[in-house]
Amino acid sequence: MTLDITGLGAIAAIGTSPEEIHDALCRSRSGLAPLRVFDQSKYRSHLAYEIDDRTEPGRDEPRRATRWLLHAVEQALTDAGLLDTAARYPVLVGTTHREQRSVELWWRGDAPVGFADLHFGTALRERFDVVNTFTFANACAASLYTLGLAADMIDNDMADTVVVAGTDSMTEATFGIFDRVQGGVPSEVRSFARQRHGMMMGEGAVAVVLRRAGHGTPSHARLRGVGMNCDAVHPTVPDAESVVRVVREAHSRAGVHPGDIDLVMLHGTGTVLNDRVEAGMLHEVFAGAKPMLTAIKSMTGHTLGGSGLLSLVMAVLSMRRGTVPPIHGLTDPMEEADGLDLVRDQARPAEVRTAQVDAFGLSGINAVAVLEAAP
């Protein structure tokens, strides 16, 4: 399977387009800021990677995840030259929360929300006349799951072009859960650092246009394969064997060997167990090989359902621009990372021909994609 990625769109705490986000990552600029609308007195942590787009400071608004989704999808369709024919293409959306924050605001009486507003398909139909939409809630791996499903749709002649997207806004319920269950109070996402204290939430949306090869329009990169599994071994603890299996499945589907991979976009949540398991996978799978490693959550926060696809878009731009962003603030890597080629301190000029993108979610929902540079 080889499919073309012909359109890119994204918004996050550090930029409103893929290029702005990649520029910020390469400058090692973090989107971390004080919480803007939650009551800080209720929580130990008072920081997050939020998008600062609310009309009235200190007052939250509904349907922000939908707003960003439309923004990213429009960017991707425009980039691919397909905006005028958008109604023809299925849209697959990966998410963790959908519009849960809007429900929280409605429940409190802070904002009116109709049930139709909670379905991304309503807004996609109104903006783009799209009627063939699907939403998948697959935790942190959601958008790479949708990418794999989109690839299957094209491979099985169900479509020749699919829009793949991910979006999530922060919800107070989830923020509160992580604030209480994590052992420490993280001051930033410290991917692969010795002193890492946990995951911190971010916001954003991302979209790509995936097309059958040979359609005749320019390609940013090519998707070689996506591996997916769901082991359900534990609600929160990642299973090391399952993570290794999904990476090897992705390599097999892509027809590549570990030595072919130039860059790995790490899941890199900054949690004790996730980073340890991911490092163990790297030592096992890439024994004898040494790809470059980076993690964008150190600057965007964990953008949840869209995080895997956002890493993929940043991998595409790293290929096109010949520059790999660093892991922000990584001065003292964890012991398990000894011998790994972590991109630190500053962006690294590099030729990237093949990249791997990791997304490992709660309950063992895992997805890994393999890309190659456009010919």
Token pair, residue 179, equals 């604030």
pTM exceeding 0.95 = yes
Reported as type and span, the H/E element at residue 313 is helix 307-321
**Confidence at residue 320, expressed as pLDDT on a 0 to 100 scale:** 97
Q: pLDDT tier at 184 (50, 70, 90 boundaries)?
A: confident
**Confidence at residue 1, expressed as pLDDT on a 0 to 100 scale:** 67
Give 241-302 as a DSSP string. Answer: HHHHHHHHHHHHHHT--GGG--EEE------HHHHHHHHHHHHHHTTT---EEE-THHHH-B
Give per-residue pLDDT as tens, 349-370. 999 999 999 999 888 899 999 9
**Confidence at residue 314, expressed as pLDDT on a 0 to 100 scale:** 98
Domains of the chain and any CATH numbers: 3-373 (3.40.47.10)
